Amino acid sequence: MVYKIEIKHQIAIFTIDRPEMRNAINNEVMEGLESFLDQIEHDKEVAFAVITGTGNKAFCSGGDLSEFHSFMTAQEALPMLSRMTGLLYRIATLPMPVIALLNGTAVGGGCEIATACDYRVVSSTARAGFIQGTLNITSGWGGSTLLLEKMGRQDVFMRFLSEAKIYNAQELELIGWATHIYEGDIQDGLQHFLADMKHIHPSVHRAYKKVAIRSYEITDLKSRMMEEAEQCAILWESEAHHQAVASFLSKKNR
Ligand SMILES: CC[C@@H](C(=O)O)C(=O)SCCNC(=O)CCNC(=O)[C@H](O)C(C)(C)COP(=O)(O)OP(=O)(O)OC[C@H]1O[C@@H](n2cnc3c(N)ncnc32)[C@H](O)[C@@H]1OP(=O)(O)O
């Protein structure tokens, strides 16, 4: 099993469990995420949902390049990109608040997943970045659409995307991407973040969540995220992208 699902004390936790692969997303993790969302979407008992990763090195390193490098054309890449885009839209529109608990680094699609969540609770040693540009692609799971939709300053977040750099926790807090930075133990970090919210009835959190996402349907956010996936698919088939992935994988196989 490459993921864990736990529902305890009204908190539903999805943990990507591939620490040796820096919690990269493959088809099996996608299936897990689908079943997690199916389980909690209509469960009124769940007050908060949490997405995290095993270990302290990575929250998620994005798409599993060793699996997805076999996609050579836009047509081959698009089903995977659209499937993840659909999942990120579901995460963003869950009826309860969703917390990305960044136990470690989030890059590429990992950064997109964290952006889809309502809050990013980040270890002081974690880092994050939309590094897709270094692979000659854009984000392809709807993550930059979500980033620019949710976050304040367009100039700051266009730069975050375009530099394709990894920011440290302090920088992530400064630009407003990280909601809360914790030191030390991950569970203590989560509990500390939730401490001032937990005594409020879950129906109140759900009502605020509704307010937060009410414009998504009117502005057809899902279609806009899908357009991002299509744009990424076009870049996916470029020679520069295939070369960048081959270079990453050749380091792995050395
Ligand atoms: C596909 C969709 C697209 C999107 O829409 O956004 C993407 O997500 S593109 C993918 C973008 N992700 C990357 O390019 C990440 C690449 N990984 C890294 O930069 C680093 O691994 C790290 C996340 C910064 C962690 O560095 P470090 O702690 O030094 O670990 P290693 O680099 O030694 O990795 C350990 C191990 O894991 C393998 N690995 C890591 N990430 C991936 C990945 N995304 N896909 C496949 N494999 C990955 C890495 O190759 C190492 O393997 P071994 O050498 O066999 O131990």
Q: Check residue 159 and give its pLDDT.
A: 96
Percent pLDDT > 90 in the chain is 98
Nearest to 128 by CA among 96, 163, 93: 163
pLDDT of residue 249: 93
Residue 70: other Cβ atoms inside 10 A: 8
Q: What is the mean pLDDT of residues 214-231?
A: 97
Which structural domain, as residue segments, surrounds residue 7?
3-186
From 22, 146, 242, the mutation candidate for ligand 1 (largest count of ligand atoms within 8 A of CB) is 22
**% of the chain exceeding 70 in pLDDT:** 99
Q: Residue 48's domain is classified under what CATH number?
A: 3.90.226.10
Could you read off the pLDDT of 109-162 as tens digits, one per residue? 999 999 999 999 999 999 999 999 999 999 999 999 999 999 989 999 999 999
Q: Ligand 1 mean position to 18 CA, how many Å?
A: 11
pLDDT at residue 106 in the model = 98
For tokens 């057809």, the residue is 220
ipTM of the prediction greater than 0.90, yes or no: yes
Residue 149 belongs to a domain: yes
Q: What is the mean pLDDT of the chain?
A: 96
**Domain contains 134:** yes
Please answer whether residues 97 and 118 qualify as being in contact, where contact means their C-beta atoms are separated by less than 8 angstroms.
yes
**Ligand 1 mean position, distance from CA 106 (Å):** 10
Instruction: Decide if 250 is inside a domain.
Output: no
Q: Which two tokens stand for residue 186?
A: 């991950």
Looking at the domain assignment, is residue 245 inside a domain?
no
| Calpha distance 233→215 (Å, rounded) | 27
- Give the pLDDT score at 251: 81
Residue at 30 is within a domain = yes
Residue of minimum CA distance from atom 4 in ligand 1: 109
Tens of pLDDT along 14-57?
999 999 999 999 999 999 999 999 999 999 999 999 999 999 99
pLDDT tens column, 74-92? 999 999 999 999 999 999 9
Task: Report if residue 198 sits inside a domain.
Answer: no
Task: Tell me what pLDDT residue 253 has.
Answer: 58
Asked whether 141 and 147 are in contact (CB, 8 A), the reply is: no
Mutational test site, ligand 1, from 61, 146, 225, 226, max ligand atoms within 8 Å of CB: 61
What total of structural domains would you count in the chain? 1
pLDDT over threshold 60, residue 254: no
Span from the CA of 73 to the centroid of ligand 1 (angstroms): 21
Whether 238 is covered by a domain: the verdict is no
**What is the pLDDT at residue 152?**
84
Stretch 165-175: mean pLDDT: 97
Residues with C-beta less than 6 Å from any ligand 1 atom: 21-22, 24, 57-58, 61-66, 68, 105, 107-109, 112, 131-132, 135, 139-141, 232, 248, 252
**Per-residue model confidence (pLDDT) at position 211:** 97
Whether 55 contacts 103, CB under 8 Å: yes
Residue 101 has pLDDT above 90, yes or no: yes
pLDDT-based confidence at residue 252 (cuts at 50, 70, 90):
low
Residue 217 lies in a domain: no
For CA atoms 43, 190, 168, 33, give the dihedral sign: negative
H helix or E strand, kind and range, residue 241: helix 239-252
